[in-house]
Homo-oligomer: A and B are copies of this chain.
């Protein structure tokens, strides 16, 4: 066999062919860069992004890095939130050492004061009568505070959308509360891929490492993915004896998803339950992401704000490596797909259809922005409450006579949950 033949054979794949497949191409630049002026960075900037929990704003400001920009978040003494460029317009000292005042923030170094819109209000070291402050502006972004989360809009000012209202913000009987914040040392899109990938709940969270949720999760469900007005959903339908459990999760572009609590055990028929968690995956940089969560909480659960703020099991880097190896969870599976996952090396199958759809929505949005249009789901008519479908519903439906027919039945039952709602 000539070396050429060997190379050709190996390129198709074969035993012990690591030598022929060891080169790692760079990540897709269109999808994976988030800094100012990058295609994906400009796309993400067309949406309000959470930058801090209000609970973390105290007498001192909070330094954050969002989309590759260094920022300071603070609440001034009249209660307004500000998001400013980190470095003072005067000589660059970080405003993380600044002092929030009645109106805006004062830089520690020479006492200059900036309002939350960036206006310079005082330059006290200057000679009396100086009009220097009139031409000084600190870079600032508009903010919006909602349910204990501070959002900022970092995009083109003339395309700023209204803050979107999801129907899941208001679920009767539940209280929307600020929940967990946790970081992953990897690109945001691989964190989000996970949201439309229900197969992993059967493996990562059940068979691979012991049952992290309920035993019912240990069955690979009948799967479906559907576009919605808000973005897309997955529908995962499992048979549990005479019951059929339909689990639906939403992805809302560009980087939001929501899911129900992971404690459904599907032991009795019940209508759609929607105590959702809503999660934003905000890029700090190309290879670092912070998740911010809001959660619908049943007051009957008796949880304190501190308890609601705890990340779920295995979501954050809070376990020793040896334990993460024995019982891997979301943090481990997602952050270990390289710092920035390389799509060119993937082998996607039918079960990855949701991931493919999600990435298509993101790429379409990036290209819309690049050609001067608005991306999908950025702008909504005034007063819109955006319809989402996240739920657990359990129906009493006896099995069909044969496995193939039952699969069709499960699939039909799953879709009906969306169709009803869409009707």
Contacts and interface: CB of A to CB of B under 8 A. Distances in A.
Size bracket, chain A contacts: 35 or more
B326 A59 contact: yes
Nearest to A338: B92
Interface in A345-371: 345-352, 355
Contacts of A89: 345-347
Contacts of A332: 94, 97, 108
A214 to B, nearest CB: 18
A60 B97 contact: no
A92 B345 contact: yes
Interface stretch (A202-210, A237-245, A271-279): A202-210
Interface in A91-141: 91-94, 96-97, 99, 106, 108-111, 117-119, 123-127, 130, 132, 135-137, 139-141
A341 B157 contact: no
B156 A19 contact: yes
A346 B18 contact: no
Interface string A2-37: 010010001001111111111100000000000011
A139 B6 contact: no
Given A22-B36, A108-B209, A97 B328 contact: yes
A142 interface: yes
Contact of A137 (B13, B61, B155): B13
A276 B94 CA distance: 30
A337 B21 contact: no
Contact of A108 (B118, B322, B333): B333
A200 B110 contact: yes
Contact of A141 (B3, B10, B18): B18
B325 A96 contact: yes
A118 B347 contact: no
Contact of A106 (B18, B208, B334): B208
A91 B60 contact: no
Given A123-B349, A347-B90, A336 B139 contact: no
A73 interface: no
B140 A16 contact: yes
Contacts of A21: 85, 137, 139
Given A97-B324, A110-B351, 20 more contacts: A3-B158, A18-B154, A19-B155, A19-B156, A19-B157, A21-B137, A21-B139, A87-B338, A91-B193, A91-B352, A92-B190, A92-B337, A92-B342, A109-B203, A110-B197, A111-B207, A125-B202, A125-B351, A126-B350, A130-B350
12 contacts: A3-B156, A13-B135, A17-B140, A18-B85, A19-B45, A92-B338, A93-B334, A96-B325, A96-B336, A97-B324, A97-B332, A125-B203
Interface of A: 1, 3, 6, 10, 13-23, 36-37, 45, 59-61, 69, 83-85, 87, 89-94, 96-97, 99, 106, 108-111, 117-119, 123-127, 130, 132, 135-137, 139-142, 154-158, 190, 193, 197, 199-200, 202-204, 207-209, 220, 322, 324-326, 328, 332-334, 336-338, 341-342, 345-352, 355
